[in-house]
Amino acid sequence: MIAVKRLCPMLALTVAIGTGVLVAGGAIASDPKSADEFKFAPDRIVDVKHLKLDVTPNFDKCEISGTANMRFSPISKPLEELRLDGVDLNVTNVTASVALAGYQATREEVVVDFAKPIAPGTDANVTITYSAHPSAGLLFRTAANGYPSGETHVFSQGEMTDARRWFPSYDYPNEKFTSEIICHVPKDMTVLSNGRLISSETDSSGLKAVHWLQDKPHVNYLITLVAGRFDKLEDRYRDIPISFYTLPSDSAEAPLAFESTKPMLGIMEKEIGVPFPWAQYGQVVVRDFTMGGMENTSFTTLTEEILRTRDSENIPTSEGPCYSLESEGLMAHELAHQWFGDLVTCKDWSNSWLNEGFATYYALLFARERYGKDMFLYELYLDKQIVVDDDHCNSQPIVSHKYKDVWEQFNLTRQYQKGSWVLQMLRCQLGDELFSRCIKAYLVRHQYQTVVTSDLTSVVEEMSGRSFDRFFDQWLYRSQVPHINLWYGWDERTKLVKLTVEQSMHPTKSADKKSDDGDKEERKDGYHFPLPVRFNVNGEMIDRTLDVTKPDESFYFSLAAAPKYLVPDPEMATLVKINCPLATPMTYSMLADKNDVVARLFACDLLSKNQDAATVAKLKDVLNNDSFFGVRARAAESLRQIHTDAALDALLASVQQDNPRVRRYVVVQLGKFYNPKARDALLACIDTEHNPAIIQAAVEGLGQYDDDAVVAALHRCLDSHSYKERIADSAISAIRERDDPEFVESLVATLRSRDNSFPRKNFANGLSAVGHIDRNETNKKVARDFVSAYLNDKCQRVQIGAIRALGELADPQSEAALETFASTADDSPLREEARSAVSNIYWHNKPYENLHELRSELLDLQKKSREQKRELEDVNKRLDSLVGRNPKPEAKNKNVPKPAAPAKKASP
């Protein structure tokens, strides 16, 4: 799975979900409401062998019904009851291959009681007949919930623990089993699932029964079901069928997205060294997917945002030219998961980097093979800068059992990018050939199994003969990454280079107090790591490595002459933040080295601190003439950081770029100047540019300006039509940034007239913008009435957008309507969003001078509560004395379980 902000806006809507499971009397793995934040995998009381689902979706009611048959055997003890995860399932019958005593379905579980304990190693079957109206896990896109009737479809999303919301199961990744799905749908629909298609035939009810079989074991969250009316593209890689499905309205854009799949498979197999492990590989694009992509076994589900028109030249629409955010990068990530995450799966969420870090790294290895080494080094360079400066990433280890919510374990920077970087460091220390052999052995040894980090460590140590305890301890079990000052000196008399390393840790709050991954005293010793350095001596490249083991130490190297320049970490081998001040002539020499992309990137960053004319001229030359787009993009950013009139002029003179990535990035940097000349260039771009992704960047850059020309341009873009209304969506972002209530009327008119042409998430963002820009006005009636009309929209995403918009609008007259959602009994996202919105309205309208009154009221309530507690204790003591009983000691375990509900009788 990849969860990228640009690709996954619904991440913000996700409510905390449990990661625990209680199976046949096993230990409760984890409860997000528990005071103990440490989470571990649950006990495996039974070995699940096979799960068969026979289901029928009801598209009108957004429900599913059917049977779940599970074959299992107890592992070590006789089994009296089987507890399965099942949230809000309506269970109507349970049968089994052995005699049953009864069953019950609670809010969270399905509990099956056996008449006699089942002996260890004995196979048994349980069949559960049920129905569900799932709030998550299985998502309907129908006219009944606000989508076009011609695009009716349903899709599942199991990771992390949402599969339990649409079928009863063992819903944790430390168990693998085979599976099959039979799904009954109208005859013109397509059904997609894991493994291979067994049959498709008309059943007794006149529906089409489609049967899929996954005959190799995988974990529960990877089970997928997609059903609807889709168009298909297909091809073969060797003897493996490959396919790509989209809704009919997106079929014109499908070939552009699909065309990389076949070469991608070949490159992945070559890099990984293990053949593709499944019967086929399919991809399907669904509407309003809650992630960027999900690597279901043999069938990936993708967001519609991967789709592009040809005129977009397939460049990213996120701010930076980052491969991991591009359509192809996302698809490569999900394909890599078919080995790392599907074939071999993390045993618990604390080891999720074994899924996500590997998938991220192998997507970069694909980019290296397809686009060259410079692309690979450039992406590592960008990721390093993000990781070393990210506070959250540096406050928690990659491998950690301590978290409140399982979503914390899927932090993009920590698990994905830092995890990828750990593998890059490991590869550099082992060498390419040994690293590849280690990874192949790791996969083959643990195929179709679950793993923890020590399984990888064991393989690496066994095959290399080296101890990697320190390596994995530093980079996986500690939270921070080193920051170093690297000081350079040259002694002409002795011909010695002196390099002094001063090491410190990332300055986070957790650095000065003990944590579960090490304490302050241990960190004073610093990290141990090799730091490669490359010297250019008379045109000859000389590589040396500093074996850094202390917080402060010096290294000496004999060279024939003073180096023209030096490059720290030229092959991206060590995850450290490096501050290495060099003389400007040395930096200019680095910038001119056409054979070393890291030298040029590093030089661009060093020169961003200069403001002289010569530096601006050199960066301008690089921006227009460097052979690699990444260096040109970096030069554009350095000019923006210099931020002088001359730097702006250099960017303005460089707008016309042949490379669309660079062209877009120049426009992005111009949007970070507040200057009439930059504004005029952005306006000109909107009128002359053919690439819609670049137009979007120009539109978003106008949000800071307040003049008639900008207002007119934003109105034109708001009224424009583009693929999935992406340019209009960018105009809404700029209007929100301008914070001008004069746009309320036109924004409302656009949203009202094009209700169905905007993707639902973009329409919800538009509602939010209406509330935001009108929040300080005296008369909020127009905005309030427009937004309130969507509170009962059929689409929940639009409802949430309306609730958020009213919260931002902060109009007290909206509070009563919001309270109807905030006071509901369920724990849906609507209730949580409404409570947040009501709270925002209250605090926005509550005079700050009354805060002391609230505090006084709170203290009074606390005082009365203490007094009442003492009075109650006194009454209890007197009662105990009257009846002659001794006071009971306080219970050690306050979380006493409630009595179980009466068991239902089992069917014969």
Dist. CA 301–CA 282, nearest whole Å: 9
| pLDDT single digits (tens) 743-781 | 999 999 999 999 889 999 999 999 999 999 999 999 999
> Is the Cβ–Cβ distance between 205 and 244 less than 8 Å?
no
Categorize the per-residue pLDDT at 27 as very low, low, confident or very high, splitting at 50, 70 and 90: very low
pLDDT digits (tens, 9 = 90+) for 405-455: 888 889 889 999 999 999 999 999 999 999 999 999 999 999 999 999 999
Spacing of C-alpha 733 from chain mean position: 22
Give the pair of three-digit tokens for residue 684. 């000109």
Give SS3 for 162: coil
pLDDT band, residue 586 (cuts 50/70/90):
very high
**How far is Cα 756 from Cα 754, in angstroms, rounded to an integer?**
6
CA distance 280 to 242: 6
> pLDDT value at position 129?
98
pLDDT of residue 349 exceeding 70, the answer is: yes
Classified as helix, coil or strand, 498 is strand
Most confident of 149-163, 515-529, 887-901: 149-163
What are 855's two structure tokens?
A: 């505090």
Q: Does the structure show a pLDDT above 50 at 20?
A: no
Across the chain, which distance is largest between two alpha carbons, in Å?
100
Is residue 345 within 8 A of residue 304, CB to CB? The reply is no
Decide if 460 contacts 469 (C-beta within 8 A): no
**Residue 858: pLDDT band with limits 50, 70, 90:** low
Per-residue pLDDT reduced to its tens digit, 62-73: 999 999 999 999
Least confident among 85-94, 112-121, 794-803, 842-851: 842-851
- Torsion sign across C-alpha atoms 636, 637, 639, 640: positive
Mean of per-residue pLDDT scores for the chain = 89
Query: Which secondary structure element, helix H or strand E, spans residue 458, and what is its range?
Result: helix 453-464
What is the per-residue pLDDT for 847? Answer: 61
Q: What one-letter code names the amino acid at 303?
A: T
What share of the chain has pLDDT > 70, as a percent? Answer: 87
User: What are the residues whose beta carbons fall under 8 Å from the beta carbon of 14, sequence distance 6 or more?
Assistant: 290, 407, 829
Residue 845's pLDDT is 84
pLDDT at 407: 87
Lowest mean pLDDT among 46-50, 339-343, 393-397: 393-397
| The predicted structure's pLDDT at residue 525 | 74
Report pLDDT digits (tens) over 220-257.
999 999 999 999 999 999 999 999 999 999 999 999 99
Beta strands in 106-239 (DSSP E): 109-118, 124-132, 138-141, 153-156, 177-185, 190-193, 196-202, 208-218, 225-228, 231-237
Whether omega for the bond prior to residue 160 falls within 30 degrees of 0, making it cis, is yes
Which pLDDT value is given to residue 531?
97
Cα distances (Å, whole numbers) of residue 66 to 100, 167, 421, 614: 20, 9, 45, 73
The runs of H, that is alpha helices, within 643-795 are: 645-652, 660-670, 676-688, 692-701, 708-719, 726-738, 744-753, 760-773, 781-788
pLDDT range class, residue 856, cuts 50, 70, 90: low
Q: What is the C-alpha to C-alpha distance for residues 255 and 232, in angstroms, rounded to an integer?
A: 10
pLDDT reported for residue 872: 75
Per-residue pLDDT reduced to its tens digit, 444-479: 999 999 999 999 999 999 999 999 999 999 999 999
From the number of C-beta atoms within 10 Å of its C-beta (0-12, 13-18, 19+), residue 401 rates as: middle
Average pLDDT over residues 609-616: 96
Report which DSSP code applies to 896.
Answer: P
C-alpha distance from residue 179 to each of 42, 63, 74, 176, 449 (Å): 21, 22, 19, 10, 15
- Checking if the pLDDT of 15 tops 50, the result is no
Give CA–CA dist 324/361, Å, rounded.
Answer: 10
Higher pLDDT, 888 or 480: 480
% of the chain exceeding 90 in pLDDT: 80
pLDDT tens-digit profile of 84-126?
Answer: 999 999 999 999 999 999 999 999 999 999 999 999 999 999 9
| pLDDT one-digit tens code per residue, 665-685 | 999 999 999 999 999 999 999
pLDDT beyond 50 at 889: no
- Residue 501 confidence (pLDDT): 97
pLDDT score recorded for residue 6: 33
Q: Which helix (H) or strand (E) holds 281?
A: strand 281-286
pLDDT of residue 868: 75
- pLDDT grade, residue 512 (50/70/90)? very low
Helix (H) or strand (E) holding 52: strand 46-58
